[in-house]
A and B are shown apart, each in its own frame.
Chain A
Amino acid sequence: MIKGRIVKKGTVEGEALVSKNPLSFFGGVDPKTGTIISKDSDIYGKSMSGKILVFPYGKGSTVGSYTLLRLKKEGKNPLAIINEESEPIVCVGAIISDIPMVDKIDISGISTGDTIKIDGENVEIIKKQ
C-alpha cells in the first residue's frame, strides 16, 4: 500500500493503463471514445475508458479539463487517474467530472495490466501475474 495526495476523493478498483510520458488531454485524446490519438504517445491507440489511467503529469493545452468532462458524459472516462505530480488542468478536469484522482505516487512500479485499488489517498498495486 502506498500513500499519495488526494486530488479528487474516491474508492475504485480497476486495471492500469500506464503512460511513461506526459499526456495532453486536449488534442491527445479523442473525447468521444477515450482513445489516445497523440502519435508520439507511448500508449497511442489505447483507450483509457474504464481503466485506471497512470501518467507522470499533464502537458499541453489548458482546455484539457473539458476533455475529461466530455469523456465522463460519454461514459468513456478513465475510472481514476494517478499522477506523479499533478497540474491544475487535469486536477480541475477530475474535480468537475467527479473522477477519483491521486498524485504524488511513484509510477515506475506500475505496469499496464496491473490491478490497482484506490481508496482515498491509499493506492494498492497488485502486479499482473
Chain B
Amino acid sequence: MYLTKENQEIYDGERGEVLQKAMEILVALGNIYKAKDFVPVSSAQIAGVSYKNLGKPGTEFLEWWVEHGAKVKSFSTLNPAGIDLERAEELGFSNEFSEKQRHVVELYEKMGIVPTCTCTPYEIGNLPKYGDHVAWSESSAVSFVNTYIGARTNREGGPSALASSIIGKTPRYKFHLDEPRLANLVFNVTAPMRTEADFGALGVLAGKESKNNVPYFSSLPPMRQTDFKQLGAAMAAFGSVALYHVDRQTPEARTKKMVKENSEKYVIETLKPAYDILNTGGDKIDFVSIGCPHSSLEEIIHIAMMLKGKKVAIPTWITTSRAISYMAQTYGYKDIIEKSGAKIISDTCMVVSPIEGFGFETVATNSAKGCSYLHSWCNVETRFGDIKACLSASMSGRWKQ
C-alpha cells in the first residue's frame, strides 16, 4: 500500500500513539485487500456500543483511545446502546448494566462522536450523497448507504470505522472501487411482495444464497424506504451482503448496467421457507418489538394510526433514535402510541439490549434480522409478520395467522 509522507510518519509513530494505532489497523486492512492508497471519508458510523456486546475488554479498548486523547476527524455518529439512556430504570435494566453502558457512551462522546445511538443514522442527519466515500459499520446501515444512496463503504467493523474516523480516511479497496460494486448474481422474484415483512423474508432467502456477493433484483415492485431497510438488514444478517441493486429503483442501477455478464440467475417463487425459519414460537406472545432497524418517523406515524384509541395487552416496544422519538413527541404521535400502553424506546433495540433477563419466551417482530439475533443471542422464540400482525398480537397477546 502506498503511504504519503504524512501517512508514513503517522505509521512510524511520529505523530503520537493514537494516530499510529489507528493507522496500523487501516494499513493492515489495506495490505490484506491490496488497497493502492487511502481515500478521505465524509462520515463514519461507529458500532460497538452495547455493553452486552463489548463487556469489560471492549470498554478497556475504548478507554485506551480516550486516555490517549483520541479525537475523530470525520463527522461520526454512534450505533445503538444496550439501554434507553433516559428510561433505563423504568424499563427494568439493572443499575449495574446501565452505569457501564452510560460510561461506554461517554467514552465515545469524549472522542467527538455524536451519541446518536441509532442504526439508522441516515434518518437523522448522517446522510452522505451519491458517490461519497464513508466508513460505516452496522451491517444494516452499510447495506442502506451503499444501496439506497449509492455512497461507498466497506462492511467496516466497529474498531476499523473508529480508526478511519480518527484518521479521516479509509483504505481504498472493494466497494470504494467501481468494478467490485457490480452484481454477480440475479434474483427474479415471482413471489408476491405485499408488506415490509415479505421484504425481510426475501432477505433471508436471498442473503443465504448471496453469501458475500452482490445481488441484483430484476423484478421487484416499487419499494418504500422501509422495504429497503428490511431487505438489506436481513441479507446482512443471514448472509454477508453489503450492497445490492434493484432494477429501475436503486441509484446505480438507474444510471448504469450494474450486472456482470454470465451472472448466475435464481428465481424465488415463494417466501414460505423464510417464514418457516422466522416463526419458531407458539401462538402465545409475551412481547412485541418493532424497530429493527430503528423506526423512521413515517413508520411511527403508521403505528400511531393503528394504535389510536386502542390498548395493548402485552409489553410493546417501538425502538428508534432519540432524535426521531423527539420528533414523534413534537408532532403528537408519541402521545398516541404511549396512551395505548406501547412504548417508544430510544437508543437501543431488541438485538443489543439484555432482554433475555426479562423472562420472555416468545417475541413477535416484523424484523427478520431481529429474529436471527433473538434466537441465538437473546435465547427467545419468535413470530414474524408485518407491523399490522405484530400490533394485533400486542392487543390480544396471541399470534393470529
Instruction: Say whether A and B bind each other.
Output: yes
Q: State whether A65 and B48 are in contact (beta carbons under 8 Å apart), knowing that A26-B53, A27-B376, A93-B157 are contacts in the complex.
A: yes
| Chain A proximity mask over B18-62: 1 for CB below 8 Å, otherwise 0 | 000000110011001100000000000001101001111110110
Selected from B48, B212, B277, the residue in CB contact (under 8 A) with A59 is B212
Chain A's closest residue to B79 (CB) is A63
A residues apposed to B, CB below 8 Å: 5, 7-8, 22, 24, 26-28, 31-32, 37-40, 56-67, 69-70, 72-74, 85-89, 91-93, 95-96, 103
Question: Given A27-B377, A91-B32 in contact, is the A63-B155 Cβ separation under 8 Å?
Answer: no
- The reply to whether A92 and B47 form a contact with Cβ atoms under 8 Å apart is no
| The 9 A-B residue pairs with the shortest CB-CB distance in the complex, in nearest-first order | A73-B57, A27-B377, A65-B157, A62-B137, A89-B157, A59-B240, A66-B58, A92-B157, A38-B376
Given contacts A28-B376, A65-B48, A95-B28, contact A60 B139 (CB under 8 A): yes
- A65/B159 in contact, CB under 8 A: yes
Which residue from chain B places its CB closest to the CB of A28 in the assembled complex? B376
A63 CA to B61 CA in the complex, in Å? 13
Pair B154/A27 contact, Cβ less than 8 Å: no
**Residues from chain B with Cβ under 8 Å of A24 in the complex:** 237
Instruction: Choose among A63, A66, A70, A88 the residue that contacts B154 (Cβ–Cβ < 8 A).
Output: A88
CB distance from B355 to the nearest CB of A (A): 13
Within 8 A of A (CB), among B61-78: 61
Residues of A within 8 A of B32 (CB): 5, 7, 86, 91, 103
Q: What's the least CB distance linking A104 to chain B, in Å?
A: 10
Known: A62-B158, A65-B160. A85 touches B139 (CB 8 A): no
Contact status B155-A87, CB under 8 Å:
yes
Q: How far is the CA of A92 from the CA of B21 in the complex (A)?
A: 12
Which B residues form the contact surface with A (CB < 8 A)?
A: 24-25, 28-29, 32-33, 47-48, 50, 53-58, 60-61, 79, 137-139, 142, 154-161, 211-212, 236-240, 277, 351, 372-373, 375-377, 379
Neighbouring B residues of A67 by C-beta, 8 Å: 53
Q: Is the CB of A95 within 8 A of B25?
A: yes
CA distance A56 to B211 in the complex (A): 10
| Alpha-carbon distance between A12 and B53 when the two chains are bound, in angstroms | 28
Chain A binding surface SS class = mixed
A87 to B137, CA, bound (A): 13
Asked if residues A73 and B56 are in contact (CB atoms below 8 Å), the reply is yes
Q: Can you show 30 pairs from A to B with CB atoms below 8 A apart?
A: A7-B32, A22-B211, A22-B239, A22-B240, A27-B376, A56-B211, A59-B212, A61-B47, A61-B237, A62-B155, A63-B47, A63-B50, A63-B157, A65-B48, A65-B158, A66-B54, A66-B57, A66-B158, A70-B54, A72-B57, A73-B56, A87-B155, A87-B212, A88-B156, A89-B155, A93-B159, A95-B24, A95-B28, A96-B61, A103-B32
